Structure 1
Amino acid sequence: MDQLIKILNHEGNMVVSGRDLYDFLGIKTPYTQWMERMISYEFEENVDFAVINKKVNDESVFGSTRTIIDHALSLDMAKEIAMIQRTKKGKQARQYFIQVQKAYQQQVNLPKTPDEKIHLLLENSDQVNRQVKQIDSRVTKLEDDQPIAPGEYSYISTRVKRAVNEFVSVHHLVLNNKQRSKLYQDINRGVAEVTGIKTRTQLRKKDFDVADEFITNWTPSTATLQIIKQLSAVPENQTELV
């Protein structure tokens, strides 16, 4: 940051020379008269400013030194004086003082002791770990919400067909296509219910294991079995459907 106006250290505080500010603002009124008017805006001596007697070289033919009055202004007072001017230079000075204060505050907040530095490192490490966990969680969710691969969908379809055929075979059932379709409807409806989808084509990666486990343990509902019985007479050699 370029130094528009020199910032001084006065008794541990950042201050601005009243005369430096006066020169930067390009004020035409004599300095002492102008500063008296600025101070009248309810600024308090030894709080907002301090009066300083400064020795300068006398540019007269005598070539000696003379004493002039200057003021050490707090940055807050310097900002307000700059704003009071209502000029382009005043606005520029005010913005400069604001930037100086921000930069100073950042320096003040930096860790100084080894303990403070270690504490900051731990805080940053915790923050990074939280961010990584959040990213991992989002990535996992995105992956889980991806549609299952064609090979996985084909596997589920095969498992459904095999489960229906095994049920029919184990229970020695003789079913027509309409009756068999009721079994497919039953198992597909169950897959949809346990995975929270409407149709099997909506299966996501996160649903794969749930669907696979359901198919392994599937048995038709009592309602489905009753409907199948109603669709046709039970064969003579079959005393019950299941």
Structure 2
Amino acid sequence: MEQIINITYDQDHQQPVVSSLQVAESFEKQHKNVIQSIENLVAENSAAKSLFYETTYESRGKRYPMYLMNRDGFSLLVMGFTGKSALDWKLRYIQAFNEMEKQLKEGIPTTPEEKLDLLLEVAHNQKGKVKEIDERVTKIEKDQKIDPTQYGYIGKLVNRRVQEVKAVYKYTWNSSQVGALRHGINSDICNALDAHPRTQIRAHRFDEACRFITGWNPSSVTLKEIEELEEHV
């Protein structure tokens, strides 16, 4: 399904804006890297500070940093994003900004009643946008893979558990048997965590993976394979 671009009207700064979270999703960037790019731009030139507005969003009861940016801020940020898909997204965002600005010019309220109606409409729309952002953030967090540090830690746990199992079962433990044991634990991890290969383990299941490895024992199929390898030494 095609992603919807949400350009919203920011009452505090009286202009259309888009969130760093949505930009990260559209251009397939990690949100933390987009935030870092924005902060680097502001650090390099103080004039850029007026193009980005610090704020936060809520996810699972916690608040996380986020930026809102106007058209100029968006243009400055994505200037270095390359590739055909990046160009397509740039054009789509520019069109979305144009449409929002056109709507604002054609429907600027003049009376107090019209201003109040617009304010209520914006508030209602913003509530829906926040909910949509929260849902997207939850999905992004759920799909995020373990980082290199977590992957390395899981590797150490696997090595430790292999040594523990070898100490329990008194086989010769030739290289083929050790290979079968490692294949068994890795296969069971992938199946239990629905991750093929291990690098695809979801970050939110990292603790579950650690517990699984710590309590892992070879299946009867794995033990039979190891025994057969013992007989053929």
Q: Which has the higher helix share?
A: 2
For normalisation by structure 1, the TM-score amounts to: 0.43
Bigger relative contact order, structure 1 or 2, given CA contacts below 8 A and separation 6+? 2
For normalisation by structure 2, the TM-score amounts to: 0.44
